[in-house]
């Protein structure tokens, strides 16, 4: 239960880390076959860096929207 509290306490930092990381991606990064696995791994690493006192082992993508800038 302490891990969940730690994660919720650090949620603004986690969301900021996600947004910065995802904004840096380009379409070429998203067109590779194993993109979902790599995204999940990278995001998990960013969460664990933000909440060092807790440990996240996995994540779940509920929805993914890709917007291409022309």
pLDDT greater than 70 at residue 69: no
Domain of 35, in residue numbers: 2-50
In a domain, 16, yes or no: yes
As for how many domains the chain has, the answer is 1
When mean pLDDT is compared over 1-5, 43-47, 66-70, the highest value belongs to 43-47
The model's pLDDT over 21-51, given as tens digits with 9 standing for 90+, comes to 888 877 777 766 677 788 888 888 888 888 8
- Mean pLDDT rounded to a whole number for the chain: 80
Would you say residue 44 lies in a domain? yes
pTM of the model: 0.65
Spatial contact of 48 and 55, defined as CB atoms under 8 Å apart: yes
Regarding predicted confidence, which is higher, 17 or 30?
A: 17
Judge whether 57 lies within some domain.
Answer: no
Q: For residue 17, which of 56, 39, 41, 50 has the smallest C-alpha distance?
A: 50
């Amino acid at each position: 239960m302490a891990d969940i509290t730690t994660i919720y306490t650090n949620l603004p930092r986690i969301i900021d880390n996600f947004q910065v990381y995802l904004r840096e991606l380009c379409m070429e990064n998203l067109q590779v076959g194993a993109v979902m696995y790599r995204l999940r791994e990278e995001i998990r690493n960013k969460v664990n860096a933000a909440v060092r006192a807790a440990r996240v082992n996995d994540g779940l993508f509920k929805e993914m929207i890709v917007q291409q800038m022309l």
